[in-house]
Every structure is written in C-alpha cells, then in structure tokens.
Amino acid sequence: MGWRFQLKRSRMLWDLGLLLPALVFGGLLHPELTGELDDCFCDVESIDVFNNFKVFPRIKKLTEKDYFRYYRVNLKRPCPFWPDDGHCSIKDCHVEPCPESKIPVGIKSGNYNKYSQVANLMADMTECEQANELGAINSTLSNQSKEAFADWARHDDAQDHFCELDDETSPDAEYVDLLLNPERYTGYKGPPAWRVWNSIYEENCFKPRSVYRPLNPLAPSRGDDNGEGFYKWLEGLCLEKRVFYRLISGLHSSINIHLCGDHLLDEGWGRSVWGPDLQEFRRRFDMGETKGEGTRRLKNLYFLFLIELRALYKVVPYFERAIVGLYTGNSREDRATKELLLELLSEIKAFPMHFDEKSMFAGHKMEAKTLKEEFRLHFKNISRIMDCVGCSKCRLWGKLQIQGLGTALKILFSEKEIQKLPEHSPSKGFQLTRQEIVALINAFGRLSTSIHQLHNFRLLLEEKR
C-alpha cells in the first residue's frame, strides 16, 4: 500500500477525530484482515472506525423506532423448489406475530403511507379522480382483459425489483415486531439448513461446471488445499459475477456472526442465557480451522457493507425531499425518526471511500443489459429460496435481509431516476414502499451490528491469549 494512500487514510481518521481509537482497533482478529479490500478502494480499518463510532450508534437507535421495528411478512409461503420439510419444532425458532392493537395506526392503515398525511390525502383524491375518468372505459373491458392488464402492471412493477416480494394483502401476511423477535442462534441446523445454503451457492452464484469444489464456504473442502484453487475461478469471473458471489458470501458471514454473537449459552433454571460463543466463532472464521478462508469470508462482509452504504448514499436525495415522511400516525415520533435518518445519511455522505458501481454493467449496451438481467434474476431466485427455510425466525431475518439487499441494488441501478425526482410530486418517479425502506435500514443495521460484534470477538480473543 503506497504512502499516499496511507496518508489519505490517516488524514480521514484524523478528520473524524478517530485516529487514536483506530490505533486501539489495531489488535485485529486475523493478521490478514487488514488493508485494502478487493474490487474497491477502501480499507478494513477505516470501515471499522467509521462503523463502530459513527454508524452503529445511530443505526441502532433508528431501528428501535416504531417505523422500523414493525415488518410485514408472510412466513407461511410454501417452498417452491422441494417438498416442505415442515417447520422447525425448536421453541426458539418460533416467531410471535404482533397483535393488531400494538401496531401504530399509521402503519397498519396501509403500505401507501410513504408520505405525510397531506400527501396521502392528495394521493387518495388523485386516485379517486382517475377512477372516475376511467370508469366508463373499464366497464367495457372483459374480465379476461382486466386480468391481463393486472398481470402486465404487476410485471412492470417487478422489473425494478431484485427479490420476490411478499403479497402484503395476503391473509397469511402478518406484522412482526423485530425487537421482540431478534436474530440469534435457534438450534436450526443439519441437512435442511445445508440444503438452503447449498442451493443458493451452487445454483445461483455463476459457478462454472468445471469447478467441483462446493461454493458454500462452510462446506468441507476436498484434499488439503487452502482454497487457492477455488478462488482462481472467482478471480477469472467478470466484475459483476464476482461481486454477486461476494455479496452472498458477505451476507452469509454476517448472519453467522449474529448467530455466534447471540448464541444460546445456558438453559438452566427455566431461563435461556444468550451471549457470544467464542468457540463457535472460531469454528466458522478462525484461520486454522477454516484453512485460511475465514479472512476472505470476513472481507466479503466488509464488501457487502460498502455496497449497502453506497446505496444509502445514492438514495439521500429521495429521503431529503420534504414530502417523503416516515408515517406512523405520531407526528412528534415521525419527525424525530426522520431527523435521525437524515443525521445517519449525513454521516454516510461524509465517508470518502465509497464503492464505485459505475464500472459494473459498463460494457457493450446489449451485453450489459443481458448481464444485468441475469444478475437480477439470480438474486430474485435466492429470495424465493428463503421460503424454504424451516426455522420461522431464520426465515423472517433471511427474507428481511435479502429484501434489504435487493432494495439496495434497486437503488444503485436507479441513479438517474433518483436524480430526476420532482420535489412536490409523491406519485411520480422513483419510489420506495414502506416495506422496502424498513428492509433496507434493518438489513444495513444487521451488517453494522456484525462489524461491531467483530470488535467484541477481538477483545474476547485478546483475553484468551
């Protein structure tokens, strides 16, 4: 790493007032978990400091707000790929839906509440006027034609989505309080869990047929190799396909850190005790036990963090519009939530080492379009695999984090639409539903928590030495 880069990094940390804490964080988990990340111009240490001191405290407060703690999800959708194994019978797999009486009135009144009450009223009036104008025409259409138009509309709406969305109008869709159903180790493991991750890696990560080694980074490798042969094919992929694999690997690593950081330690005397499990963490990430792959897994987590960070940077103009509110029905709470979100976004805008996505899909126009569509469909397929997770709590957090990442990708590929947003027209141009906003912020919050938990594991490892 050249001296100019070192100087720039030190200057950035100094500007943040965090140079001394950065040196404290120097006791890294792995000797190799340091320096610049592949495919982007940023280093691990800068992300550690920025996240743990600037992002994590704010995102934690934000996800505790009413607007972000209630997530509507259908946990009863059948697995579309193989016979259902049945739901996990372990008590910690259970998800407790939120009683209707506990849901803020502005949230349960409908997903259209993306704006202020005034904007909602205007939107409702516009819809009524359109309905009156089109009523005479619609009455001449056959039922078959109406169904075809509805199908076309759903198809058009789905073109920007990178994941399979739940039907929020389904009677099986329920609101869940994320704070009362935290992501943590539930005991769900074995063949059903392996089948989900193997399907994600083997069928959706652009694996060449010539590669016989399992893509699942937690699968046992063949022979005594340290993964170098496996990663040669990855380096040979185009940037887009390499990024896709790293996103999935980063998400997998993040989830595993959550499970290790909030592990079931004891069930004595009728109560469960949860906390960090250092032995489980070592099994999944230690250099020796993973034959050198632990560092790669963790670097992919940092890479995913940068991707979602970049999406939040890109979507700032959308949230800065006065007309875009975070509506729950409590005006004081809503203003405080919006202010906290803008405060977080302001910190993100100040970060100087963002991922540059302009190099993606930048080749020949038709080739780039085909590759982007392939990229989108692979990711959408992964979102459908989430309905095959047998543990309800794992399914909940898997669906939420996949939708959050899918929303981040939607933002990254909608830059021109975001830049053209009209200030006072809530129904035109780029849009995010409440469900997408909740998933985006909570998914990023999970990544921020993972990096923060890494610091805690570093301290535990230091104590054991």
> Cα–Cα distance between 382 and 91 in angstroms, integer?
26
Q: Residue 185: how many CB atoms within 10 A of its CB?
A: 21
Q: pLDDT at position 343, please?
A: 97
What are 45's two structure tokens?
């240490």
The response to whether 283 counts as a known ligand-binding position is no
Q: Return the amino acid letter for 142.
A: S
Q: Which residue has the higher pLDDT, 168 or 148?
A: 168
> Cα–Cα distance between 255 and 398 in angstroms, integer?
9
Q: Encode pLDDT of 368-395 as tens digits.
A: 778 778 888 888 999 999 999 999 999 9
Q: pLDDT at position 428, please?
A: 72
With a cut of 90, say whether residue 331 has pLDDT above it. yes
The response to whether 14 counts as a known ligand-binding position is no
Q: What is the dihedral of CA 107, 94, 201, 299, to 10 degrees?
A: 70
Q: Which residue has the higher pLDDT, 441 or 264?
A: 441
Q: Which residue has the higher pLDDT, 179 or 17?
A: 179
The response to whether 184 counts as a known ligand-binding position is yes
With a cut of 80, say whether residue 145 has pLDDT above it. no
Q: pLDDT at position 167, please?
A: 75
Q: What is the dihedral of CA 425, 431, 437, 443, to 10 degrees?
A: -150
DSSP labels, 237-269: S-HHHHHHHHHHHHHHHHHHHHHHHTEEEE-GG
DSSP labels, 97-144: BPPGGGS-HHHHT-TT--B-HHHHHHHHHHHHHHHHHHHHHHTTS-HH
Any idea which residue has 């020949």 for tokens? Answer: 364
Q: Residue 427: how many CB atoms within 10 A of its CB?
A: 14
Alpha-carbon distances of 115 from 73, 215, 361, rounded to whole Å: 21, 43, 33
Report the chain's terminal Cα–Cα distance, integer Å. 30
Lowest-pLDDT range of 30-44, 190-204, 431-445? 30-44
Q: Encode pLDDT of 313-329 as tens digits.
A: 999 999 998 788 899 99
Q: Which residue has the higher pLDDT, 261 or 293?
A: 261
Any idea which residue has 């006791």 for tokens? Answer: 27
Select the highest-mean-pLDDT range: 103-112, 167-176, 388-397: 388-397
- The whole-number average pLDDT for the span 24-32 is 47
Q: pLDDT at position 187, please?
A: 83
Lowest-pLDDT range of 97-101, 166-170, 302-306, 314-318? 166-170
Exposure pattern of 130-150 as b/e (b: 16+ CB <10 Å)?
Answer: eeeeeeeeeeeeeeeeeeeee
> Cα–Cα distance between 234 and 216 in angstroms, integer?
13
3-state secondary structure of 319: helix
> Cα–Cα distance between 410 and 271 in angstroms, integer?
43
- Residues of the chain above pLDDT 70, percent: 72
With a cut of 80, say whether residue 27 has pLDDT above it. no
3-state secondary structure of 382: helix
At a CB cut-off of 8 Å and minimum separation 6, what does 247 contact? 300, 303, 304, 307, 405
Q: Encode pLDDT of 191-218 as tens digits.
A: 888 889 989 988 887 766 555 455 565 5
The response to whether 197 counts as a known ligand-binding position is yes
Q: Encode pLDDT of 233-253 as tens digits.
A: 677 777 788 888 899 999 999
> Cα–Cα distance between 374 and 389 in angstroms, integer?
24
The response to whether 145 counts as a known ligand-binding position is no
E strand or H helix that includes residue 380: helix 365-385
**Would you please indicate which residues are annotated as catalytic (active-site) residues?**
391, 394
Q: pLDDT at position 148, please?
A: 45
Q: Is residue 391 a contact partner of residue 198, using CB atoms and an 8 Å limit?
A: no
| Backbone torsions φ then ψ of 76, nearest 5 degrees | -110, 5
282 DSSP 8-state letter: H
The response to whether 328 counts as a known ligand-binding position is no
Q: pLDDT at position 270, please?
A: 66
> Cα–Cα distance between 192 and 86 in angstroms, integer?
10
With a cut of 60, say whether residue 141 has pLDDT above it. no
- Binned at pLDDT 50, 70 and 90, residue 149 comes out as very low
Q: Encode pLDDT of 53-66 as tens digits.
A: 999 999 999 999 99
Q: Is the pTM of this model over 0.85?
A: no
Q: Is residue 360 a contact partner of residue 243, using CB atoms and an 8 Å limit?
A: yes
At a CB cut-off of 8 Å and minimum separation 6, what does 174 contact? 72, 73, 74, 75, 97, 98
| Residue 193, CA atoms < 13 Å, CB-side half-sphere | 19
Judged on CB neighbours under 10 Å (0-12, 13-18, 19+), 80 is exposed
